[in-house]
Amino acid sequence: MNGADGAWYNESMPYNELNELRDLAHSFLLEVDRPVDTQLIARHLFGPQRHEMPEAQVVVRSLMESDPRFLRTHCRRWSARWAPHLQQDLARAAFAVVDLETTGSVIGVDEIMEIGLVRLEKGRIHQRFTTRLRTSRDIPPWVSRLTGLSDRDLAGAPTLEETGAQISELLAGAIFVAHDIRFDMPFLRWELTQRDHAFPCETGLCTLQLSRGLWPDLPSHSLGELAASLGLDHHNPHRAGDDALAAAGVLLQALEAARGLGRRTLGELMELDLAAAPGARQSAES
């Protein structure tokens, strides 16, 4: 049985056929060099005629969630637990910590009006980049109240078309990091690729998810409260440059906590049962 055969799942499928589907998915994920979404795995298992069917993706999630060989990454994609791309040494990896201020939350409708990016290499800040971006969409009043930015502030700013190549270069070869990666990573990917700029990051880490697991006793894991709890400077919340710098500080402390727990690779960090990590906060603050 394989994807080309159009194999399909049903409730009466024998146990050995279910295992064969899992084996096919595992082999596929070992061969790719990045985490992939549920739909792509469904296409591989069930063929192009069925992969977009909602039940196909439900089946894929069910098969993989019950098998310890698979790992759901912070960016909500799937990887084989021992895939080569997850064996990156955290001490040597580069990280691009990103924060976006946008005109709203709808991808394809709203736009990025400010981006902050901190690139970390060998545990140190290697480069910082911040810019406002001129948009074609007016800033809603509630966004102006939150960020302090108005349409007038963006009038002389460059566009994402003009700065996209520089942003892509800063992202290249790095693990993407954000405080709630489920928003920032797909939003920036969409905005860059729609303007014919590369989005080179294949996987990512979420400082929100890491902090909830490593320091569950903190009263809040919002970036501002988290920065205060960890002793980090965070002078201008809801401004991209300062938020990216604060998230970079959270990441450095999280990586130190992970090292204290014997986690050395990206895969080991992602597979860590962070909620049960004993002494993580003490390791990060020591």
Mean pLDDT by 10 residues, the chain (286 residues): 44 69 94 92 86 79 90 92 92 97 96 98 95 96 96 96 97 96 96 96 92 89 94 92 97 94 90 48 34
Does residue 53 sit in the same domain as residue 175? Answer: no
Does residue 60 sit in the same domain as residue 104? Answer: no
Q: How are strands ordered across the β-sheet holding 204-206?
A: 124-132, 112-121, 94-102, 175-178, 204-206
Does residue 100 sit in the same domain as residue 50? Answer: no
Does residue 30 sit in the same domain as residue 168? Answer: no
Does residue 142 sit in the same domain as residue 216? Answer: yes
Question: 37, 54, 86: which is the final residue of a domain?
Answer: 86
Does residue 181 sit in the same domain as residue 52? Answer: no
Does residue 31 sit in the same domain as residue 60? Answer: yes
Show the domain range for 118: 94-285
Question: 32, 59, 86: which is the final residue of a domain?
Answer: 86
User: In the prediction, which pLDDT does 213 show?
Assistant: 83
How far is residue 100's CA from residue 130's CA, in Å, rounded to a whole number?
A: 10
Give the CB-side neighbour count of residue 11, counting CA atoms within 13 A.
Answer: 0
Q: Are 35 and 203 in contact (CB under 8 A)?
A: yes
Q: What is the CATH number of the domain that holds 212?
A: 3.30.420.10
Q: How many Cβ atoms sit within 10 Å of the Cβ of residue 68? A: 7
User: In the prediction, which pLDDT does 66 show?
Assistant: 84
Question: 21, 53, 86: which is the final residue of a domain?
Answer: 86
Q: pTM score, two decimals?
A: 0.87
Does residue 204 sit in the same domain as residue 228? Answer: yes
Does residue 247 sit in the same domain as residue 112? Answer: yes
DSSP assignment of the chain: --GGGT----TT--HHHHHHHHHHHHHHHHHSSS-B-HHHHHHHHH-TTTTTSHHHHHHHHHHHHT-TTEEE-TTS-EEETT-GGG--BTTT-EEEEEEEEES-S-TTTS-EEEEEEEEEETTEEEEEEEEE---SSPPPHHHHHHH---HHHHTTSPPHHHHHHHHHHHHTTSEEEETTHHHHHHHHHHHHHTTT-------EEEHHHHHHHH-TTSS--SHHHHHHHTT----STT-HHHHHHHHHHHHHHHHHHHHHTT--BHHHHHHS-GGG-TTHHHHHH-
Does residue 148 sit in the same domain as residue 243? Answer: yes
Does residue 110 sit in the same domain as residue 190? Answer: yes
Structural domain count of the chain: 2
Does residue 44 sit in the same domain as residue 177? Answer: no
User: In the prediction, which pLDDT does 208 show?
Assistant: 93
User: In the prediction, which pLDDT does 270 show?
Assistant: 86
